[in-house]
Amino acid sequence: MSTTANVQETSVDSEVLTEIRGNVLIITMNRPAAKNAATEAMAKDMAKILDDFEANDELFVAVLTGAAQTFCSGMDLKGFVRGERPSVEGRGFLAITEQPPTKPIIAAVEGYALAGGFETMLACDLVVAAETAKFGIPEVKRGLAAAAGGLLTLPSRTHRAIAMEMALTGDIYSAEFGHAHGFVNQLVPEGEAVEAALKLAEKIAANGPLAVRASKRVIVESSEWDESEKFAKQSEILDPIFTSKDAKEGASAFAEKRAPQWTGS
């Protein structure tokens, strides 16, 4: 396996691990003894990793997961008591909840995705979860609130009533509940979330990278557009795609019955 410029595979004792498979970056939160509870150091590591991912033209998609069959149990409370916050100014919890990458990112969830871990999952574009995964924003049980995006993002990823129930009860919910209510895309057998997420990532990575990023941008930003300006604003983002070299390559590859060779230009 070869690495590309900027992003480097990390050593097994790091709190955030990276691995590259083709055009896909795998990011693994790595504090298994603490159920991958997020620390300030993890947030700083994530900021650098995500910056490098964005800057690397050879990486098209990322998969975010957790070590030892757990996604992330939220904020490290011992660090919180010491005055630490696992956030980066302007970027949010684990440097992702306020400013996700412009490239697609898929959460591969085994075990628990709770509190900030659940909010980190919501910052991803797609979610593949094991059938045994558990979700929740239990902050109210600790006298806190889901301030890392859960209260803002969850209503748009499911129904308002479901978001209200989860936020106000602080209860833990099953993977089946998440799938039924729209914030989980795929359910897979226990232990298979990463491989299933990689298959999904490879499907996305086989497509034109400019078109993929532009499509994500329209979906993310269009909820804030006035009805009268939607198509005009969409055109500003999509028109350059139709005149790109990749668009011509995609048409040529289809006509010639071969796989396209994307250049991202």
| Pick from 97, 169, 184, 92: nearest CA to 136 | 169
Q: Is 89 a catalytic residue?
A: no
Task: Name the token pair of 141.
Answer: 């049980």
* Alpha-carbon distances, residue 73 vs 82, 181, 213, 236 (angstroms): 18, 21, 30, 40
Radius of gyration of the chain (CA): 19
Q: Which residues contact 188 (CB under 8 A, 6 or more apart)?
A: 128, 129, 130, 131, 196
Q: Is 119 a catalytic residue?
A: yes
Of 15, 40, 110, 119, which is the active-site residue? 119
| Pick from 186, 39, 209, 42: nearest CA to 124 | 186
Residue 142: count other Cβ atoms within 10 Å of its Cβ. 13
Of 89, 98, 139, 224, which is the active-site residue? 139
Whole-angstrom Cα distance, residue 242 to residue 223?
Answer: 23
Question: Cα 151 to the chain's mean position, in Å?
Answer: 17
Amino acid type, 221: E
Q: Is 136 exposed, middle or buried (0-12, 13-18, 19+ CB in 10 A)?
A: buried
Cα angle, residue 111 at apex, residues 107 and 114 outer, rounded to 5°: 75
Active site residues: 119, 139
